[in-house]
Amino acid sequence: MNVSVVVALFNEEESLGELTSWIKRVMNKAGLSYEIVFVNDGSRDDSWRVIEELSQANDNIKAISFARNYGKSAALFSGFEAAEGDVVITMDADLQDSPDEIPELYRMIVEDGYDLVSGWKQLRHDPIGKTLPSKFFNGTARLASGIKLHDFNCGLKAYKKRVVKSIEVYGEMHRYIPILAKKAGFNKIGEKVVEHHARKYGVSKFGWERMIKGYLDLITVLFVSRFGKSPMYFFGGLGTLMFLLGGSTTVWLIVEKVYNQSMGIWYRGVVEQPLFYIAIASVVLGVQLFLAGFLGELINRNSGERNRYLVDKIIENK
């Protein structure tokens, strides 16, 4: 099978029929074999009933329905598990992503050899309340990750099948799939300017709180990608530095007091100086951070993931 189109949806009953017809028309014209994997993320409208009706008329549809709303990352993870195509395309169900982009995305994966191609909605039909925060968010993610993408959060992306089977998307990490892919060893990440349509049905399912969650998840994914298998390098290193700074400051204050006392110079008591309490707090925090790193190493040592590596090629001589 050439393409799996994974569509995560929540309360999108009005658009599903039109989206399915559009995908079918594009795939038939391009001569690509395909499947559509709908993941119903606990919709409270008639989305699942519509999907059941569509599946009866189209054998290329498979679907998963959650008992409640778990979020887009959970829906994509389940869709990735079910996908069987050589190239996996993700897109939103609200018709803002154009299925007409699929053949070129497929070509970039198959012929140009990209591991992942992310859409870039260069011209967006969204209110300024969404576009300005998005620009700031993407700039921060670009700077922190080193991946030169303009639109990390674009739902229209294409992947080699091997990529989606090698990464785990959870929480709100769907925004950072390129970072997760890079961490897993897939470094050929491209970008394509895609057409963005104004919303035709319903309302946006994301509010202002996604910006807060987005930045918290960015910190998480960057930390896990760099220190996930060696937490002692971060916590132990920072703890040791704080312990040494606090300890050396405390010793310096005591030595200074002894020297001034021996020379008959007026001095202020060690415990009367605010710097002493800052130094003691630094020592205590340093010890706690070091212990946190040590506990992290113990947990990591017993993890089933500690020796899981993505193998690219193997040569065996018998």
| Euclidean distance between CA atoms 240 and 176, whole angstroms | 31
Average pLDDT over residues 15-24: 96
Model confidence at 306: pLDDT above 60: no
Looking at per-residue confidence, does 183 or 291 come out higher?
A: 291
Min mean pLDDT across 28-42, 60-74, 154-168, 257-271 is at 257-271
Element (H, E) at 157: strand 157-160
Give the global pTM: 0.75
List b or e across 147-181, with b for residues whose CB sees 16 or more CB atoms inside 10 angstroms. bebbbbbbbbbbbbbebbebbebeebbbbbbbbbb
- Return mean pLDDT, the chain: 86
| Euclidean distance between CA atoms 79 and 70, whole angstroms | 13
| Euclidean distance between CA atoms 87 and 105, whole angstroms | 9
Q: Sign (positive/negative) of CA torsion 91, 97, 98, 104?
A: negative
Which amino acid would we find at residue 183?
Answer: K
Q: What is the pLDDT of residue 210?
A: 62
Distance in angstroms between the alpha carbons of the first and the last residue of the chain: 34
User: Tens of pLDDT along 91-143?
Assistant: 999 999 999 999 999 999 999 999 999 999 887 766 665 666 677 777 777 88
Instruction: Please give the structure tokens belonging to residue 126.
Output: 């969204």
Residue (of 36, 34, 15) closest to 103 by Cα position: 34
Let me know: does 20 contact 58? Beta carbons within 8 Å: yes
Q: Sign (positive/negative) of CA torsion 306, 308, 310, 312?
A: positive
User: Tens of pLDDT along 29-78?
Assistant: 999 999 999 999 999 999 999 999 999 999 999 999 999 999 899 999 99
| Range with the largest mean pLDDT of 65-69, 179-183, 261-265 | 65-69
Average pLDDT over residues 139-150: 83
Q: What is the pLDDT of residue 296?
A: 83
Domain boundaries, the chain: 3-227, 231-301
β 61-65/34-40 pair status: parallel
Question: Looking at the domain covering 3-227, what would its CATH class be?
Answer: alpha beta
Q: What is the pLDDT of residue 97?
A: 92
| Euclidean distance between CA atoms 315 and 115, whole angstroms | 23
Average pLDDT over residues 155-184: 89
Average pLDDT over residues 75-97: 94
